[in-house]
Amino acid sequence: MHESVAILGAGPAGLGAAVELADRGVQTLLLERDLHVGGRAAEYTCKATSECARCNVCLVSDLAEQARSHPMIESHFGVQVRDLRGERGDFQLRAQRKGVAVDPALCTGCGLCTVQCPAGGESPLYLAGLPGDRTYRLERSRCEKDCRACEEACPVGAIDLAPADETLSFEFGHLIVATGFQPFPATTMAEYGYGTVPAVVTAEDLEDGLRTAGDPIDYLGDARRIAFVQCVGSRDETENGYCSSVCCAYTMRLSRLLQEKVSDLQLTVYYMDLQSFGRSWGQFRDRSADLGVKMLRGKPAAVRAGPGDTATVLREDPSDGGRRSAEHDLVVLSVGIAPAKDAGQMGQILQLTRDRDGFFTVGPGEAGATETNIPGISVAGTCAGPRDIEQSIAHGRQAALGVRSSLEKGRSS
């Protein structure tokens, strides 16, 4: 009977579960398919202006730091699950890890490798991950032949320029699946021009661009007429009929960030309905109106290439049925939450059932909100349905408490 717990996924839900378990004295394995913690949140920007926007990106950074230094958490990155056998209390998981030049579990982000790299400003080494938990990656194809300067300079032995693939085996008593989501692939809705009209980006693109640039003005350049198109891939029977529940919130936060940082911005939001979020919803709505954000009801029919480098939004005005068009320098598609690309494969390996939308199913009622059809396996976060960061962390903690309760019952029986 194993009392350790394995968690698949180191995003908000996985980190929340790992820290909760570890703080309660449970040995925890944190297995992440990517090379960094944080999941999608690692690509998001802080949306604070003169005050906190409660986007909760910072919460993920805090959890990542706790997980990194916690003695009860053992982390493995680049892990691809291949097989799971056994039962509650005695699971055996087999996984594969493709060799990587910089081991994120060892790298401290000290930067000595870049100092010694002869490429200087063109170094193939770059930082990735959450603020406060960023580690180096290496594009080996850009290295000079036979150069080993970074490997020799690393004080902790995190760099191996001839890494080998590994087969890993883990044994544990319980499993929490927190494998996250993928943003709705906007290219499937060709009418909105993503991938063909340069002025069209997704909200994920905008988040990553703002995070990388640091200053919204640096990212936007000369673009000042900005539009958000809501419900792309959500509340659409031809795609996903459900509401992703997070898009209105992140649009309001991003629009407020842009409006407060860029004084001459003209910002428009095209929407069907607005999903309220938390007690701060009214404040965000009122502040956005004060800043001049134009809210236009009605989902656009299409986005086309406009004059120069602009994009033209075509829509029907619901007030009179008339056709309208407007040019924008940048159109941001507020894409929703879809099941992860490997959700089907993961479901087969773990024998987990999925709902009609492709998310992992859980039991009825609050008590079963994280329990799956397989005893000993729980799910947490967006792999079980749309949630924001705060909700995902809470769901991860709920899953951890359920597992902890099961462990205690096992000891007393």
Lowest mean pLDDT among 16-25, 46-55, 246-255, 381-390: 46-55
Lowest mean pLDDT among 87-101, 185-199, 327-341, 356-370: 356-370
Q: pLDDT confidence of 413, banded at 50, 70, 90?
A: low
User: What is the arithmetic mean of pLDDT over 191-217?
Assistant: 93
Neighbours of 174 (CB within 10 A): 27
User: What is the arithmetic mean of pLDDT over 185-214?
Assistant: 93
Quick one: pLDDT at residue 278?
66
Per-residue tokens: 149: 């300067």
User: What is the arithmetic mean of pLDDT over 31-55?
Assistant: 88
Q: pLDDT confidence of 280, banded at 50, 70, 90?
A: low
pTM of the model: 0.89
Q: Which range is most confident: 33-37, 48-52, 92-96, 257-261?
A: 92-96
Quick one: pLDDT at residue 193?
96
Quick one: pLDDT at residue 412?
67
Q: Confirm if 94 and 167 have CB atoms less than 8 A apart.
A: yes
Q: Does 180 score more than 80 pLDDT?
A: yes
Q: What rounded mean pLDDT belongs to the chain?
A: 91
Q: Does 294 score more than 60 pLDDT?
A: yes
Q: Which residues pair with 315 in a beta bridge?
A: 324
Q: Which residues pair with 378 in a beta bridge?
A: 176, 371
Question: Measured between alpha carbons, how far is 281 from 394 in angstroms, rounded to an integer?
Answer: 20
Lowest mean pLDDT among 48-52, 128-132, 290-294, 398-402: 128-132
CATH 3.30.365.10 for domain 5-98+165-180+340-412, yes or no, is: no
Count helices and strands (H / E) in the chain.
Answer: 10, 20
Q: Residue 84: which H helix or E strand, with range?
A: strand 79-87
Q: How far is CA 159 from CA 30, 80, 399, in A?
A: 21, 21, 35
Q: Does 223 score more than 60 pLDDT?
A: yes
Under DSSP, the state recorded for 213 is H
Domain ranges (residues) in the chain: 5-98+165-180+340-412, 184-337
Quick one: pLDDT at residue 100?
86
Quick one: pLDDT at residue 368?
61
Which pairing describes strands 225-232 and 200-202: parallel, antiparallel, or unpaired?
unpaired
Q: Confirm if 12 and 59 have CB atoms less than 8 A apart.
A: yes
Candidates 3.50.50.60, 2.10.25.10, 3.40.50.20, 1.10.760.10; CATH matching 184-337:
3.50.50.60
Is-same-fold flag (5-98+165-180+340-412; 184-337)?
yes
Quick one: pLDDT at residue 215?
87
User: What is the arithmetic mean of pLDDT over 178-188?
Assistant: 96
Backbone angles phi, psi at 203, to 5 degrees: -60, -35
Q: What percent of the chain has pLDDT over 90?
A: 67
* pLDDT tens sequence across 123-141: 899 888 777 677 899 988 8
User: What is the arithmetic mean of pLDDT over 243-253?
Assistant: 91
Q: pLDDT confidence of 173, banded at 50, 70, 90?
A: very high
Q: Does 2 score more than 60 pLDDT?
A: yes
Q: Give the list of residues 6+ apart from residue 100 with CB closer than 8 angstroms, or none.
A: 35, 77, 78, 163
